[in-house]
Structure 1
Amino acid sequence: MKKTQTTLLILDDNEEILIAARMLLKRHFETVITTVNPKKIPELLNEHPIEVILLDMNYRLGYEDGKEGIFWFKEIQKMAPKVQIILMTSYAHIETAVEGIKLGAIDYILKPWNNEVLLQTIKEAVKLVRKKGPEVAPTPASFFKGRAASIQKVYQMADRVSKTDVNTLILGENGTGKYVLAQYIHEQSARREQPFIHVDLGSLNENLFESELFGYAKGAFTDAKQDTAGRFEMAHGGTIFLDEIGNVPLHLQSKLLQIIQSKSVIRLGESKTRPVDVRILTATNSDIELEVEQKHFREDLYYRINTVVLSLPALRARKEDISSLMDFFLQQYADKYQRSLPSIDNYTREELTKYDWKGNIREMQNRVERAMILSDSDQLTLADFGISQLAISPYQDEASLQEIERISIVKAMDKSQGNISQAALELGLSRAALYRRLEKHNLK
């Protein structure tokens, strides 16, 4: 029997499962790599031409909610977007696997698996990888910059910064694109072929801070079953992006400062110093200068990370980009969900430009995806984005609001071709409430 020429990676915390999977799959596929440690994923992706990953959802004893699996799934997507991922789970955790499918996993396999089903699923994943063609590093065109002067200035500075290794601090409200800018800098740098490791310091448990960032030796604590590299070592040769650095507790900031100064780490349970060659990017949505002034953030650490500061503007401060950014996301989700690209009429575009977008680009991305999933129409309205007219113009007088209500009802009735139930659903009203408004506006 001829083997399929491909490289598979299987991750599971149970050695027996890995042995069983390897014995089966080695008969059908050329290279099968296994590991119990998901922290080895960046290293393995760099060393091997992996096309398909079988990813278990849980790795630590007592943690069975699947969150670790989802976390590593997202990390793989960032590091190797071409790789196809098949989730492995038990019947009791199907809901978590379904969440992974929504995020882009090709399929999930129940343990204990059916051999034929597993083999066929992997073969389909290999075919899908090869349909996508060779993976290339993102170019500047992969990123939406916008034409507002404020954002153009940021990206011009980012282009200059990317040619150096200077520590760079990215400031901006939640959802303004700090991660995207950090990734952009990495992709334009000489380190683009090396790892880009993202660490969300805001969600990192204090007790795990040192082991996650610096790594640990076997036996350093109860669950330390083998020597494990931390995030700084994973990023060796590349870039580490320390997101929400303003949330690091004061007593841990000195440990971070020591690594940045010495460019080396000491794993927990070891005394050996390990040099790390990393480009350091940081970000925060807090007023970090005020934090320094109030002694909540170390001044020496602040000056270490802010050789260059890039400040991202809020979306409401670059209104000229709102319409084209919306089109950018519409095209993305039309491709993702394999549906035709809907249009947005001029009235809706104007109203969405007036909207405050408190969640910035992230809010727009979520609302565009919502509209693409929930609407079957070839033209999107405010209702499809989950935005009410009142949210856009909260201070209009009663007469203006009454006219807005009348126009919204007319549009909904036209769209549903007079179907009361559909129009009511579109407007978020009951049938009875819609009837009352039709009478009020003499639209019956």
Structure 2
Amino acid sequence: MTIGTVKKPKVVIPNTLVVFGGSNQEWLPVMETAGWLCHRCYDLRTAETLLLEIGPCIGVVDLSNDDFSIHSFSAMVNRNKQVRWIAIVRDDQLTNEAIGQFIVNFCLDYFSTPVPPARLQQTIGHQIGMLNLERQVWPQLGNFGQQGLQGSTAVMKKLRDQVKRIALSDVSVVISGEIGTGKILVADAIVQASARAKRQIIRVNCEIMTPDWTVDTDNGVESVFAAANHGVLVLEEFTALTDACQLGLYQVLAEGSYYDSEGNAIAIDIRVISITNHSLDHLVSLTTLRRELYFRLNVVSLTVPTLRERSDDIILLAEFLLLKYARQYNSVAKYLSEQAQAMLLQYPWPGNVRELICQIKRAVLLAENKSIEADQLDIPRLVDDKLSLKKVREESERNALLTVLENNKGQISAAARELGVSRATMYRLLNKHELVPTPRCFRQGHA
């Protein structure tokens, strides 16, 4: 499945330079006079924060004074691949192995001191042109979609910061979090902010993946690796993979190639994003998961916070969802009453954001006035202090299933897609709550 194309924003040629290290550079006033906004940095923390805020830009690093660790700076540069670097060095430094490797690995060009301002300005101007071309080809490069990442709490700000950092590299990512926290949306945000935003995205339901890693496509049965090559492979609940599937995936990732139907080895270029409901601590102790595969997949990990951890975002999210679905369903609903807001805040939200979406969507569909009142929300009243969290979770899960079935006229496949689960998982949930629809209940079709 591929993500739809994003409307290209108006291209604006950036005129920002980040200059790291050095002092009394004679070329710097020349650039500022020419209209460049030059940010000076003298420590790594300041530089990294600034680069994260600015996004794709041109960076100039002055190595001529030997006043910082080239190893530490290389690590920072490697984490910020959206920057095009130009180095300034002394001639005698070019025989230094570490500096030579840094220039070859990370820099587009270098200049020896004293720096000729005219040539430097010409080089930077050309790189700005290349950067502008990249923005046309990859309009989302350095940005990330806000859907699923709304919120002003510290945990959400941290998550957005992590997404920014991770998106611009091609490392494998594991996204963990409770059911309904929005892990798929975080995966989409990473992809949208990366250089692969316009490439093929293949999402795999690992519960039903075959040992030979094939999927049905418009072209017939095809290898998952062929379909996702040069794009992104998203593994939904990767811990559900059978041992045979895990072994096959590990071999492909370790060898960097797969075999086609004729036995030919085909090189692969795939970014893997793995999603799980398990906590990272639990993953480490999971005996059914191959260690060697786990360490291949978990180069970087993200944990999506629960709604309980970001309670200050609940009303903000609810109002955002209300406006979204009111427009979508042409509803009269405009706002939440104070009593409705109070009810949303007192509820523990065991189903997280997904449950909140179901509640708001249902209220919007049934709304008869501009205000959504508390009695229009299908939220369990927690009047019994002894009511167990387990029972609250079960009631909430059952209500969410009823709502999604109602919205989809009893069609299980459509309901499963809306919840973001497989048909098999949907049937297990329905059986658990004795909600398997019959022809009498839903006469407009079956899954």
Q: TM-score band, normalised by the shorter chain?
A: 0.5 to 0.7
Aligned partner of 1:385 in structure 2 is 377
Please point out which of 139, 152, 158 is paired with 2:163.
158
The equivalent of 2:302 in structure 1 is 310
Q: Do residues 258 (structure 1) and 258 (structure 2) align?
A: no
Asked if 1:333 is matched to 2:319, the reply is: no
Q: Does 1:284 align with 2:276?
A: yes
What is the CA-CA distance between 1:384 and the residue it aligns to?
2.0
Shift of 1:341: 3.8
Cα distance, 1:376–1:227 mapped onto 2, change above 3 Å: closer
Structure 1 residues 345 and 226: CA distance shift in structure 2, 3 A:
closer
Residue 395, structure 1, aligned to residue 385, structure 2: yes
1:284 deviation in Å? 0.6
**Structure 2 counterpart of 1:34:** none
Structure 2 gap ranges (5+) = 8-138, 388-447
> How many correspondences in the alignment?
254
- For the residues of structure 1 that align with 2:158 and 2:234, how far apart are their CA atoms? 21
- 2:146–2:189 Cα contact (<8 Å) kept: no
In structure 1, C-alpha distance between the alignment counterparts of 2:180 and 2:316, rounded to whole Å: 17
Q: What amino acid is the match of 1:325?
A: L
Partner of 2:214: 212
Tell me if the contact between 1:175 and 1:362 (Cα under 8 Å) persists in the aligned partners: yes
Q: 1:298 aligns with which of 273, 290, 301?
A: 290
Match of 1:243 among 226, 230, 236: 236
User: SS where residue 321 of structure 1 aligns?
Assistant: helix
Structure-2 change in CA distance of 1:180 and 1:227 (3 Å): closer
Q: Which residue of 2 aligns with 1:181?
A: 186
CA offsets per residue over residues 419-444 of structure 1, 9 Å max, x none?
A: xxxxxxxxxxxxxxxxxxxxxxxxxx
Trace 1:82-231 onto structure 2 (pairs within 5 A): 140-202=145-207, 204-205=208-209, 208-212=210-214, 228-231=221-224
C-alpha separation between the residues in 1 aligned to 2:219 and 2:315? 51
How far has the Cα of 1:299 moved from its partner?
Answer: 0.9
Partner of 1:342: 334
Provide Cα deviations, 1:300-320, integer angstroms capped at 9, x if missing partner. Answer: 111111111101111111100
Deviation at 1:279, TM superposition (A): 1.0
- Distance in 2 (alpha carbons) for counterparts of 1:383 and 1:230: 51
Q: Kindly provide the amino acid, as one letter, of the partner of residue 249 in structure 1.
A: T
CA distance in 1, matches of 2:358, 2:311: 18
Work out the CA distance in 2 between the residues paired with 1:197 and 1:180. 15
Per the TM alignment, residue 254 of structure 1 is displaced from its structure 2 partner at its CA by 1.0
Letter in 1 for 2:350: K
CA distance in 2, matches of 1:199, 1:81: 23
> Contact 1:183–1:196 at 8 Å: present in 2 too?
no
Q: Distance in 2 between matches of 1:164 and 1:139?
A: 13
The match for 2:263 is 271
Q: 1:175 to 1:378 in 2, by over 3 A?
A: same
Query: Does structure 1 conserve the Cα–Cα contact (< 8 Å) formed by 2:213 and 2:245?
Result: no
Q: In structure 1, what is the Cα distance between the partners aligned to 2:203 and 2:344? A: 32
Shift in Å at residue 295 of structure 1? 2.2
Q: Distance in 1 between matches of 2:269 and 2:342?
A: 48
Partner residue in 1 for 2:27: none
- Would the aligned equivalents of 1:288 and 1:297 in 2 still touch at CA under 8 Å? no
The answer as to whether partners of 1:253 and 1:301 remain within 8 angstroms in 2 is yes
The TM-score with structure 1 as length reference comes to: 0.52
Residue 338 of structure 1: how far off its partner (Å)? 1.9
Asked if 1:319 corresponds to 2:319, the answer is no
Is the alpha carbon distance of 1:330 and 1:81 closer, same or farther for their aligned partners in structure 2, counting shifts above 3 Å?
farther
SS class of match (2:273): strand
Aligned to 2:361: 369
Alignment partner of 2:163: what SS? helix
Whole-angstrom distance in 2 between the partners of 1:211 and 1:384: 46
Q: Return closer, same or farther for 1:331/1:190 CA change in 2, 3 Å cut-off.
A: same
Q: Which letter maps to 1:159?
A: K
The residue identity in structure 2 corresponding to 1:383 is: D
Deviation at 1:147, TM superposition (A): 1.0
Over aligned residues, Cα RMSD in angstroms? 2.8
Contact persistence 2:333–2:371 (CA under 8 A): no
Tell me how far apart the structure 2 counterparts of residues 179 and 226 of structure 1 sit (CA, whole Å).
Answer: 26
Task: Describe the superposition over 1:130-175 as per-residue Cα deviations: whole angstroms up to 9, x where unpaired.
Answer: xxxxxx8695344442111112111101101111001111110111
- Contact residue 333 and residue 372 of structure 1 kept, 8 A: yes
- State the 1:209 CA deviation: 4.4
Q: Quickly say closer, same or farther: Cα 1:141–1:178, change in 2 above 3 A.
A: closer
CA offsets per residue over residues 48-104 of structure 1, 9 Å max, x none?
xxxxxxxxxxxxxxxxxxxxxxxxxxx46x44699xxxxxxxxxxxxxxxxxxxxxx
Distance 1:306 1:226 in 2: 32
Gaps of 5+ in 1: 1-74, 83-135, 217-224, 398-444
**Which residue of structure 2 aligns with residue 359 of structure 1?**
351
- Secondary structure of the equivalent of 1:318? helix
Seen in structure 2, the aligned counterparts of structure 1 residues 266 and 347 have a Cα distance that, compared at 3 Å, is same
Measure the CA separation in 1 of the matches of 2:343 and 2:224: 44
Is the 8 Å Cα contact of residues 238 and 276 (structure 2) preserved in structure 1? yes
1:248 to 1:288, Cα distance in 2 relative to 1, 3 A:
farther
Q: Cα offset for 1:238?
A: 1.9
Quote the Cα distance in structure 2 between the aligned partners of 1:170 and 1:323: 25
Alpha-carbon contact 1:246-1:288 (below 8 Å) kept: no
SS in 1 for 2:355: helix
Distance 1:385 1:210, change over 3 A: farther
Of 224, 227, 234, which residue of structure 1 is paired with 2:227? 234
Provide the identity percentage: 26
Q: What is the DSSP-based 3-state SS (H/G/I as helix, E as strand, rest coil) of the residue aligned with 2:152? A: coil
Aligned in 2, Cα 1:394/1:259: closer, same or farther, shift over 3 Å?
Answer: farther
CA distance in 2, matches of 1:209, 1:79: 29
AA aligned to 2:225 is: F
Q: 1:282 to 1:379 in 2, by over 3 A?
A: same
Q: Contact 1:316–1:356 at 8 Å: present in 2 too?
A: yes
Q: Structure 1 residues 306, 345: CA separation in 2 closer, same or farther (over 3 Å shift)?
A: same
Q: Is the 8 A contact 2:333 2:372 kept in 1?
A: no
